[in-house]
Structure formats: C-alpha cells, structure tokens
Structure 1
C-alpha cells in the first residue's frame, strides 16, 4: 500500500487536490505541496485548514521547489517519504517530474500531456513524442505512471472505456463535449494557465477521423448540442490530449474533442492571435528587451485562481458515443455536471479547477489501495473504469448517462 502524497504545483487545481487529499488523509497519509513559491503552497495549506478538510489531524507541509530540477525533486520525494506524486504544475514539468519518479520508485500522476515551451501543437501522437518513450522503463522498474488523470483527459477516458465495455458491441464514434456555461464576470480571462490554454488553439487542430489523423484550423468546424442542465451550446472542434491515447487504445475510427466558446472569447482570441501576441517565439522590443508575447499576455490576464469568488453557473463534460448494440444503432451520452459556486464553497476554487483536481485524488486513492497500482505506464482507459467512477460519485463528481431509456446515474441499469 502506497502512502504520503507530494503535490507539485500551487495553482487552482493544486488547491482542489490538496483539499481532496486532506479529506482522505486516512488513506493517503502526509500531504506535501511544492512549487517555486512556498508562499502559494502555504496559502493552500491555510485554505485546507480553514475549511476543515482534513479527515484526520493533518501532516501538511509547504516546500519551495524548482520541479525542472530532477535531483531536487528526487531529494524532496525521499525527504518526505512520498510514494505518490501528483503533478499539477505546468505541462512543461512533466518529463522532469516523471524522471524523478522513475528514479525514486514513486507513483506518478498528471492531468495533461507534456509540452515543450518552444513547440505548439506538435504532430500526433503527442504522448508518443514524450511520455510513451518511457513505457518500457516504467514496466521494467515496476513504476506506476498514470497519464492524464484529470477530467479531460482522464474521466472522459474512463467514460469511453465504460461505453466500450458495457454499452456497445461496436463503437463508430466518440465525441468528447466540454462545456463551461459559467460566468466569472471579467472582461476576458482563461479558466486555467493562459499560456497552456492559448497554446492549445494557436496551431493545427488534430482529430482522429476515419482511422487517421485529420488537421483543421481552430474555430473552423462547429456544432451545436442540447446538453443536460446547460442547454443548447455551440462547440468547436479542438485538438486535445485524450484523442491521442484513445485512438491507440480503443478500436474506434472517429474520436473528436469539442469545446464551447462564446463569441466574445473568439473575437478577443482572434485579435490577439492576428497581432502576434499569442506567439511562443521571443521578440525584441525597441529597447532591445527580449520578450515572449504569450508570456506578456499571461502576465496581464487575471490569475485563473482569482476567478473563483463570484464565479457562477455550471459545467457539462461528457462523451457522446455512437455505434451498435445487438445489431441495432445505439447512442449514449455519459457525462458530469459541476457547479462553480458549490466548488468554491468546498475548496475555495472554481468549477474548472474542481473538475480537474478531484479525479487525480480518486486515482491516488486507487493507487494507495492497490487497485490502480499498475506498476507500468498507462492511460486511464487502460485501467478498470468502475472503481474510479464510484469514487468520483462519492467525491463530488457524479456521473450520469442519457440514452433511449432516459437520464439516470451511470450504474443504474
């Protein structure tokens, strides 16, 4: 049984992870939070204590760490006797933190695919460019590494696995629909790290169609869906992490990711992009200073964690799956609805951080119990889906299913 959790990162998602780990510290043990800013780590600990989240008298520690420094990360893992590392820092850290876990034997969890600062929207499959190069090493050393254990990627991967195992004889298409129908009241802001957010949309949009990779431009392909609770929404074809692993691990010809955007977001994004302000490549100012335009935009936008107070509305994220069962056409929508105000009341965080932060803690609990201690590198769809969804039901992210029989909890037949 693995115990003691090191959380890397101190943003909104890390705050949710810390609260949820504290709520289950009878299983997970000591909780350590580490980032470049020890003050941000301590602020999360203060929030955890103020909300009364710890189930047992809590061992909570804040540490300063440059997680790009593999030796420093290894030293902290050993010093704190952390057997599970939840990486919710920048996606630029993944390979460094993974390396530290491989060399110390700690289980590794993340919520997003690795990115290199100077590269945007690389050629698929993204996992194959970085993480999957360490498949053999993790297996040989018996190191558990669970990739993309947030909501999307993560929970939606489990939804796809559930659909394949329980609801279909053959799946023709999986459309992952991600809607935030909430309002933060700001003129313009992103719900997570602006740098990572914009990088998803400035290059090519890759989807898996007719058994091959297909490229489109951002906002080129649009659809509308009438979804539970949030109603009619416009969604746009977008490249996303889970498409890359699902296309490898499931025998499905069409896998696409769609995200909702309002007209205002699209207009502001388009202006910033056309002006070159979303470029990841450095430029020189008239004064000779070298700056990265995207980092400047990030610096002037609101911190996503600051959006939580006063954020209203709901999210709806799920998998629309089509195929056949018993020789007949079949369609299901497996989904979750989360509430921004409820997330803030529990964890001082907005709903996007909540949906991303709860699942890796559920995954950590399954590693701790041994059910997901795979001793190899896996994506979520390669693991048993039902124990994961059962924990999420109890931890604040209940799953529902809508099909020809109506709308009901996922485990009601």
Structure 2
C-alpha cells in the first residue's frame, strides 16, 4: 500500500482535493499541500480544520514550492515521505512534476493535459505531444502515472469504458456533454483558471469523426441536448483532452466533446478574442511594458474560487454512447449531477471545482490500495472503471444511467 499525499496547487480544485483527502486520511495517511504562495495553502489547511473535515487526527501541512523546480519538488517529496502526488496546479507544471515523481519513484496523478504557455491547440493527439512519449520512462521506473483523472477528462473516460464493458458491444459514437446550469451572479467569470479556460476555446476545435481528426472553429457546431435534471441545454462542440485519448483507446470512429455556453458568455468571449485580449503572445504597451493580454484579462476577472458562496444550480456531465448490443442498436447515457450549493456547504467550493477535485482523490485511494497502482502511465479508460465509480459514489459524485430500461443510479451490488 502507498501512503501520504502531496497536493500541488492552491486554487479552487486544490481546495476540494485537500478537503476530500482529509475526509479519507484513514486510507491516504498524511496530507501535504504546496504552491508558490504558502499562505494560500495555509488558508486551505485552516478551512479543512474549520469545517471539521479531518476524518481522524493526522498530519495536514502547508509548504512553499516552485513546482517548475524539479529538484525542489523531489526534495519535498522525500522530506514529507509522500508516495502519491496529486498535481492540480496549472497545466504548465505537468512535465516538471511528472519528472520529479519519476525521479523520486512515487505515483503521479493529474487532471488535465500538459500545455506550454506559448502554444495553443497543438497537433492532435494532444497527449502524444508531451505525456505519452514518457510512458516507457514511467514503466522503467515502476511509476504509476494516471493522466487526466478529474471529471472531464477523468470520470467521463471511466463512463466510456463502463459503457463498452457493460452496455454496448461495438461503439460507434461517444459524445461527452458538459453542462453547467448554475448561476454565480457575476457579470462575467470563468469557473476555473481563466487562462486555461480561454486557451481551450481560442484555438482549433479538434474532434474524432469517421476515424480521423476533423477541424472546426469554436461555436461553429452547436446542438441541443435534453438532459436529466437540467433539461434542454444548448452545447457547442469543443476541443478537449479526453477526445485525444478516447480516440486512441476506445475503438470508436466518433468521439466528440460538447460544452454548454450561454449567449452572454459567447458574446463577451467573442469581443475579447476579436480585440486580441485572449492572445498568449506578449505585446508592448505605449510605456514599453511587455504584457501577455490573456494574463491581463485573467488578472481583472473574478477569482473562480470567489464564486462559491453565491453559486446556485446544478451541473450535468455525462457520456452518450451509441453502438450495438447483441447485434441490435443500443444507446446509453451515463452521467452525474452535482449541486453548487451542496458543494459549498461541504468543502467551501463551487460545483465545477468539486467535480474536478473529488475524482483524483478517488484515484489516489485506488493507488493507495494497490488496485490502480499499475506502475506505468495510463489514461483513466485503461483502468477498471467500477472501483473508481464506486468510490466516487461514496464520496460525493454518484453515477446514474439512462437507457431503454429507464433512468436509475448505477448499481454496485
């Protein structure tokens, strides 16, 4: 068994991870949280204690760390005795933290694909640009590296694998739909790091269709979905991490990702983009200062973690999987519904952070028990889905199924 967790990052998702690790410290052992700003980590530690979320007495400590510094990260891993690292810092850190985990010989879990600050929407498949070339390195070191273990990517990958295992013999279509039907009350804000959020939507939309990569522009292709709880919602085909691994691993000729957007978000986004304010390339001001427009926009928007107290409504995220079962057409929708207010009451975060932060803790628990300690690099769909979904059901993110037999919770009996 592996014990002791190092959480890298101190944003909204890291807060959820810390609370959930604390709630399960009988399995995970000591909990450490590190970022460049130690005071942010200390605030998270205090919030865990204030909300009474430590399951049993134990270590919960804050540390200062520049996670781009591989040697410093290795030193902290060794100093704390952590055997599992959950990386929920910016996506720019992934390769540095993975390098530290390989050197230290500890398990690595992240929730999003690696990105380079000066590049957007690189050549697909995206995992092939940075992560997958290091799989042999992980295997030689006997290091478990679980990529994209948030909700999307992450839980939706497990949904696709579950559909293939139990509901559809041959898959023809995987359509992942992410709808946030909540309201944060601000004029405009993103639900997680604005820099990463906007980068998802300013480049080419890559989808896997007819067993090849297809390119579209953002907001070019829209569709209405009728979903449980949140009802009819408009969503747009978007580029997203999980499309790139599912296209490789699931054998489906069609894999698409759809995200819900309101007209107001689209209008503001379009103005910002057309003005050049979402560019990742530096520009010079009249005063001779060099600035990155996207970072300026990030600086003036609300911190996503500040949205939590007044957030209302629900999210619905799931997979429509089509194909054949026993030679007949089959379709299943596997999904989760989360509530913003309930997330805030439990861990002090809004629902988007909650859905992203709970799954890597479930993954860490499976690594700790040995069930997912595979000692190589994997995406979530390459692992047994039911143990993962079963833990998520127990710790806050239950799975439901809708098919020809009705709408019901996933049965773990």
Deviation, structure 1 residue 78: 0.3
Structure 2 contact 390–412 (Cα < 8 Å) conserved:
no
Deviations 1:283-309 (A, max 9, x none): 000000000000000000000000000
Deviations 1:103-143 (A, max 9, x none): 00110000000000000011101110001011101111110
Deviation, structure 1 residue 412: 6.9
- The residue aligned with 1:62 is 62
- The residue aligned with 1:404 is 404
Deviation, structure 1 residue 371: 0.2
**What is the distance in 2 between the residues matched to 1:166 and 1:404?**
14
Matches within 5 A, 1:3-402: 3-402=3-402
Aligned-partner SS, 2:309: coil
Distance 1:60 1:412, change over 3 A: closer
TM-score, with normalisation over the residues of structure 1? Answer: 0.99
Deviation, structure 1 residue 66: 0.5
Aligned-partner SS, 2:202: coil
Deviations 1:29-74 (A, max 9, x none): 1100000110000000011001111111121110010000000000
Deviation, structure 1 residue 213: 0.4
**What is the distance in 2 between the residues matched to 1:173 and 1:246?**
11
Structure 1 outlier segments of 4+, above 4 Å: none
Deviation, structure 1 residue 326: 1.2
**What is the distance in 2 between the residues matched to 1:171 and 1:251?**
7
User: Structure 1: where are the runs of 5+ without partners?
Assistant: none
Structure 2 contact 7–18 (Cα < 8 Å) conserved:
yes
**What is the distance in 2 between the residues matched to 1:248 and 1:305?**
34
**What is the distance in 1 between the residues matched to 2:203 and 2:225?**
25
**What is the distance in 1 between the residues matched to 2:90 and 2:48?**
22
Deviations 1:333-376 (A, max 9, x none): 00000000000000000000000000000000000000000100
Aligned-partner SS, 1:68: coil
**What is the distance in 2 between the residues matched to 1:203 and 1:272?**
14
Deviation, structure 1 residue 20: 0.4
Deviations 1:205-242 (A, max 9, x none): 00000000000000000000110000000000000000
Distance 1:184 1:328, change over 3 A: same
Aligned-partner SS, 1:398: coil
Deviations 1:179-198 (A, max 9, x none): 00000000000000000000
**What is the distance in 2 between the residues matched to 1:9 and 1:388?**
23
Aligned-partner SS, 2:96: helix
- Alignment RMSD: 0.7
Aligned-partner SS, 1:258: strand
Deviation, structure 1 residue 410: 1.7
Deviations 1:134-188 (A, max 9, x none): 1101111110000000000000000000000111111100000000000000000
**What is the distance in 1 between the residues matched to 2:76 and 2:172?**
46
For these two proteins, the number of residue pairs brought into alignment is 413
Aligned-partner SS, 2:402: strand
Deviation, structure 1 residue 411: 2.0
Deviations 1:258-294 (A, max 9, x none): 0000000000000000000000000000000000000
